[in-house]
Amino acid sequence: MSLETETHRWKMEKGVSGDLIFKGVTVLFAFSILVILLLMIVEMTGESLPAIRQFGWRFVSGQDWDAVQSSFGALPYIWGSVVSSILALLLATPLSVGTAILITEIVPKKVGGIVAALVELLAAIPSVIYGLWGVLVMAPWLQKTVQPFLIERFGFLPFFKGAPYGVSMLAAVFILMIMVVPIITSITKEVLLAVPQSQKEAAIALGATRWEMIRTAVLPYGKSGILGAVILGLGRAIGETMAVTMVIGNSPQISLSLLSPAYTMPSVIANEFAETTSKLHASALMEIGLILLVVTLVINALARLLLWSVTRGAKKGARL
């Protein structure tokens, strides 16, 4: 930086080493981010190697998870994670985008500020407390009212077959939905705020109603940013551990029914990692962790790139 070169000469004259030491410390700490990230990847890969060598691709396609027989297949967990996250996002995305539009375009600024603050409070609640509410309040409610209703009315569909347990895939989907809504909403809000005022005014001037303005001027402009927000929400949903563990029932089965208990990748780690029975068992859990790490790395990198492209675009627009 220019400031640094300017002080360089001064430093040479006075022979000060303080700057050098200080810079060294900041460099060290800044690069610790890269070290942590690399360390995570290396450690997780290293610890997974026994399981990778033993099972190969069968690990992701196998269905039995038996610590006694030392046979490990992670498909039920992958299935549980993928299905619960995607369904939660399908429900959360329209709600979040709708709320973000309401905050930025429809209600007065003060009301919008209050709604935004409430949504942020939702994000501040720890995951274990969502789980507590989920398992002690929501799951019994699902078991007594929602699930019997679904079975009675839609029981002929494979998605609503079986007995009402309360703790189930459905409970996990609901809890995840509640938990990812604040993230998607607040990021979408930022994205929509970056839409240039002139663009909106142009649409209004051409005679568009407010909804037409939102549809033709706001949403197309924020498209990739909203996609980034949704992908970030996906990353959060896939990695969510405590709340899901408490409401999903923790039963490693692949079932089309939303009413039956299931299991996710983070949940099996949370439940079994502290009490592994063998080296291979620990390694298998590590491999699940590694899959989770790689998936979330890719998801987050993708989301950040999308969001950066939007905010950078907004800055360029402002300069013009």
Within residues 276-315, the interface with another protein by CB under 8 A covers: 285-286, 289, 292-293, 296-297, 299-301, 303-304
End-to-end CA distance of the chain: 26
Q: Is 29 in the site for another protein (CB under 8 A)?
A: yes
Write down the least CB distance from residue 55 to another protein, Å. 19
CB of 193 to another protein, least distance (A): 16
Binds another protein (CB under 8 A): choice among 89, 119, 169, 259: 119
Whichever of 29 and 156 has its CB closer to another protein, that residue is 29
Q: Which two tokens stand for residue 72?
A: 């490990």
Separation CA 195–CA 95 (nearest Å): 20
Q: How far apart are CA 301 and CA 295, in angstroms?
A: 10
Closest CB to another protein among 257 and 263?
Answer: 263
DSSP state of 196: -
Tokens of 114: 């209050």
Which of 40, 82, 194, 280 is in the footprint of another protein by CB under 8 A? 40
74 vs 257 by CB, closer to another protein: 74
Q: Residues 52 to 91: which contact another protein by CB under 8 A? A: none
Sole binder of another protein in the list 86, 122, 227, 280 (CB under 8 A): 122
Q: Which residues pair with 65 in a beta bridge?
A: 72
d(CA 104, CA 192): 7
The values of phi and psi at residue 71, to 5°, are -120, 120
The residue ranges of DSSP E strands in the chain, in sequence order, are 65-66, 71-72
Write down the least CB distance from residue 244 to another protein, Å: 10
Residues in 129-188 that interact with another protein by CB under 8 A? 129-133, 135-137, 178, 181, 185
